[in-house]
């Protein structure tokens, strides 16, 4: 079971906040701390991440023994990921629609790649059957926030031939538990230290450290029970 704390832009461009969020993500049981490379990243923008700051994020993640992951939005951000030495990649829902050529390039490197399909409306998968490949599709609905009725489309069961995991945009963590009960092997949940912040819209639908810890502890136990049941 993999738990991703999606920090995204919730660090608000403040590297001191970024450090504390990485630390709290680790203490909350997250396996991965995720940022976004290539989105609102021009000098002076809230998510400006250059090589120096990206390497700083990597050093902090290494110190706290949590993996650094990033959504790759542009060609330049893929090069940044190379320079930092990311072990695997994330492709955001919008990138699947806006830049499929970049997605193909990322996937062609052969590293494990998580692909959110929050905007994908077709019956087939955009980059083929994922079984036996480095592609791991994530069920997602690209609304901020999602509402319970959006989960009607959630797969009844997550399998290697379909969806590997779930990227959550609901308030609370209940949707994550539903996905785990259906076999999701990965949960990505937005992460914050302050839900009241108005700087970034994602704060309100994010999990606080106490909520994320509940998610990893109870969700991890559920995943283990799922495995025992499936093997019995």
The predicted pLDDT at position 114 comes to 98
Q: Say if residue 156 is preceded by a cis peptide, omega within 30 of 0.
A: no
Helices (H), 154-203: 174-181
Residue/partner pairs of 150-158 with CB below 8 Å, 24 or more apart: 151/175, 151/178, 154/178, 154/179, 154/182, 155/182, 156/182, 157/182, 157/183, 158/182, 158/183, 158/184, 158/185
The whole-number pLDDT of residue 162 equals: 94
pLDDT tens sequence for the chain (232 residues): 999 999 999 999 999 999 999 999 999 999 999 999 998 888 888 899 999 999 999 999 999 999 999 999 999 999 999 999 999 999 999 999 999 999 999 999 999 999 999 989 888 999 999 999 999 999 998 877 777 888 889 999 999 899 999 999 999 999 999 999 999 999 999 999 999 887 887 898 899 999 999 999 999 999 999 888 877 7
Per-residue model confidence (pLDDT) at position 149: 84
**Residue 147 belongs to domain spanning:** 2-231
- How many other CB atoms are there within 10 angstroms of residue 220's CB atom? 15
Residues 6+ apart with CB under 8 A from 198: none
Question: Two tokens at 18?
Answer: 């970024």
How far, in Å, CA of 112 to CA of 31, rounded?
A: 15
- Which CATH number fits the domain that encloses residue 194? 3.20.20.70
* 8 closest CA partner among 31, 29, 30, 38: 38
pLDDT score, position 202: 85
Rounded distance, CA 31 to CA 19, Å? 16
Q: Which pTM value belongs to this model?
A: 0.95
Cα 112 to Cα 28: distance, rounded to the nearest angstrom = 24
Domains contained in the chain, number: 1
Helices (H), the chain: 15-27, 51-64, 75-84, 93-98, 100-108, 174-181, 209-231
């Amino acid at each position: 079971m993999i738990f991703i704390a999606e920090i995204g832009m919730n660090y608000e461009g403040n590297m001191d906040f970024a450090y504390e969020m990485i630390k709290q993500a680790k203490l909350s049981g997250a396996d991965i701390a995720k940022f976004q490379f290539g989105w609102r990243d021009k000098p002076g923008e809230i998510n400006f991440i250059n090589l120096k700051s990206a390497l700083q994020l990597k050093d902090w993640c290494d110190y706290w023994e949590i993996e650094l992951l990033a959504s790759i939005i542009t060609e330049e951000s893929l090069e940044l990921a190379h320079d930092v030495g990311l072990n695997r990649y994330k492709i955001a829902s919008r990138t699947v629609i806006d830049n499929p050529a970049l997605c193909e390039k990322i996937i062609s490197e052969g590293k494990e790649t998580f692909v959110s399909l929050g905007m994908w409306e077709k019956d087939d998968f955009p980059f083929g059957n994922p079984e036996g490949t480095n592609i791991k599709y994530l069920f997602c609905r690209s609304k901020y926030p999602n509402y319970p009725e959006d989960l009607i489309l959630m797969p009844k069961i997550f399998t290697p031939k379909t969806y590997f995991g779930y990227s959550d945009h609901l308030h609370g963590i209940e949707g994550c538990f539903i996905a785990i009960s259906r076999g999701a092997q990965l949960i990505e949940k937005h992460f914050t230290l302050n839900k009241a912040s108005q700087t970034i819209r994602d704060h309100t639908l994010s999990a606080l450290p106490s909520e994320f810890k509940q998610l990893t502890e109870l969700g991890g136990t559920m995943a283990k029970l799922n495995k025992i049941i499936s093997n019995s």
